[in-house]
Amino acid sequence: MKNDLVLRAARGENIERYPVWLMRQAGRILPEYRAVRASLSGFKELVETPERAAEVTIQPVDLLGVDAAIIFSDILVVPEAMGLTYEMVEKRGPFFPNTIKSESDFEKYAQVDFDIEDRLGYVLEAIKITNKELDGRVPLIGFAGAPWTIFCYMIEGQGSKTFSKARKFLYTQPEMAHDLLNRIAEVTVRYLKAQIKAGAHMVQIFDSWAGILGNAQYRTFGLKYIEKIAEQITEVPVTIFAKGAYAAVNDMVDSPCNTIGLDWNMDVVNIRKLVGETKTLQGNLDPCALYASHSEIERLTNNLLDSFESKRHIVNLGHGVYPDIDPEKVKTFIKTVKNYEI
């Protein structure tokens, strides 16, 4: 591989400079992405068409100069494969016409006895095509949603400020909650292993709604199931990104992962003191910093880089890049990281 900085940083090996990529880099910030999207019926068709998914996966490598590609897909392909179909509603986000309310819903909507390649083969094919087109330029990252975040959508049916239905489920039907989380974890292990077999060089587990649980509940219903997945993924480096789970970072020190992703509210210096050299950290510039002037973006990025006390760091934002950010501002961020001497 011509550029394996991300992989070396994740493994704690020596690097010449910090690697950089962005969550949601393959997306609406790029006019080239919007052109591909406009040629199709919608988001789901793009996800489910391997050639087009591969095309938009590679765009940020060509146009932004990032050090890794991340396969264009969605975390909600897993509940769909389990029997719970979702829709992507314009200006509203994901919506599930059906949700899990009772034990009887499990047979229909929480299936585990199925062939991953049969139901999620389009993602695997997109990975194969992407790798062929990348031709070893940069690594390709695979991903999946964490069980708790997937659970939230399967119970709630859509995004929510509180996910009170999902949280209520933990109190009123804890055994069924654990059963569903176990099923999601089992499918996710098989899915990530299939991605790795198809050519993913590392994988990331996204727990977007980690921050809505208290620390004790997150250990019980969140981190426990992420760790169950991560301990079975031994083939490639694993990153855990648990947004908002500030107190849980203490518990992640001993998690079976290579990298801990940090959101922009987490303090890099304190967390580095906590993990030492045992983990790579990833992040964590505030995405809104990219609305600033080019010179201010350079200053903020250099300040972030100056705060690192280890080469075990992958530079990223503290969340996905927002769709109305100027791609030229993103390029300034990336160039600043690449020009920084370590």
CA distance 233 to 262: 21
Structural domain tally of the chain? Answer: 1
| pTM given for the model | 0.97
What's the pLDDT score for residue 247?
A: 83
What's the pLDDT score for residue 115?
A: 98
Asked if the structure places residue 42 within a domain, the reply is yes
CA nearest 290: which of 329, 324, 334, 317? 329
Asked if the structure places residue 333 within a domain, the reply is no
pLDDT tens, residue order, the chain (342 aa) = 999 999 999 999 999 999 999 999 999 999 999 999 999 999 999 999 999 999 999 999 999 999 999 999 999 999 999 999 999 988 788 999 999 999 899 989 999 999 999 999 999 999 999 999 999 999 999 999 999 999 999 999 999 999 999 999 999 999 999 999 999 999 999 999 999 999 999 999 999 999 999 999 999 999 999 999 999 999 999 999 999 998 888 899 999 999 999 999 999 999 999 999 999 999 999 999 999 999 999 999 999 999 999 999 999 999 999 999 999 999 999 999 999 999
Asked if the structure places residue 300 within a domain, the reply is no
What's the pLDDT score for residue 91?
A: 76
Can you give the residue range of the structural domain that contains 94? 5-287+310-323
What's the pLDDT score for residue 99?
A: 97
CATH number at 56 reads: 3.20.20.210
Token match 């069980």: residue? 147
Residues forming the active site: 24, 28, 37, 74, 153
Asked if the structure places residue 212 within a domain, the reply is yes
Asked if the structure places residue 40 within a domain, the reply is yes
- The pair phi, psi for residue 68, each rounded to 5°, is -155, 150
CA angle 335, 340, 342 (to 5 degrees): 145
Asked if the structure places residue 38 within a domain, the reply is yes
Secondary structure, 3-state, 121-166: HHHHHHHHHHHHHHCCCCCEEEEEECHHHHHHHHHHCECCCCCHHH
